[in-house]
């Protein structure tokens, strides 16, 4: 017996525009409160490097503890 498919509820049932509007209000409130995260240049570089490596379809995948780019082993063929 296959489980019944659940109806979309909450955020999932809203249009992308409505979701963006609500999320934007939360972001503005966090900035006003002073609790919003603001990226440093180094944090942004590290996140971009990690994302770029993971997006290669598994090649050069990083471990959680590594901040350095992964290197691939290349066979010399001899």
Whether 66 maps to a domain, the answer reads no
Residue 35 belongs to some domain of the structure? yes
Per-residue pLDDT in tens (0 to 9) along the chain, 78 residues: 667 767 888 888 999 999 999 999 999 999 899 888 888 999 999 988 888 877 766 555 555 555 555 555 555 555
pTM of the shown model: 0.42
Supply the pLDDT for residue 17. 95
Q: Which residue has the tokens 């109806």?
A: 7
For residue 49, give its domain range: 16-54
Q: Which residues of 44-76 are buried (b: 16+ CB within 10 A; e: fewer)?
A: eeeeeebeebeeeeeeeeeeeeeeeeeeeeeee
Residue 53: the pLDDT is 79
Asked whether residue 3 is domain-assigned, the answer is no
Q: How far apart are CA 43 and CA 51, in angstroms?
A: 12
Residue 9 is predicted with a pLDDT of 87
């Amino acid at each position: 017996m296959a489980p019944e498919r659940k109806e979309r509820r909450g955020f999932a049932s809203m249009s992308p525009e409505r979701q963006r509007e609500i999320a934007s209000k939360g972001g503005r409130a966090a900035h006003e409160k002073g609790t919003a995260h603001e990226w440093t240049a180094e944090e942004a570089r590290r996140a971009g490097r990690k994302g770029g490596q993971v997006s290669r379809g598994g090649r050069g995948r990083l471990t959680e503890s590594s901040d350095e780019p992964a290197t691939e082993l290349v066979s010399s063929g001899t």
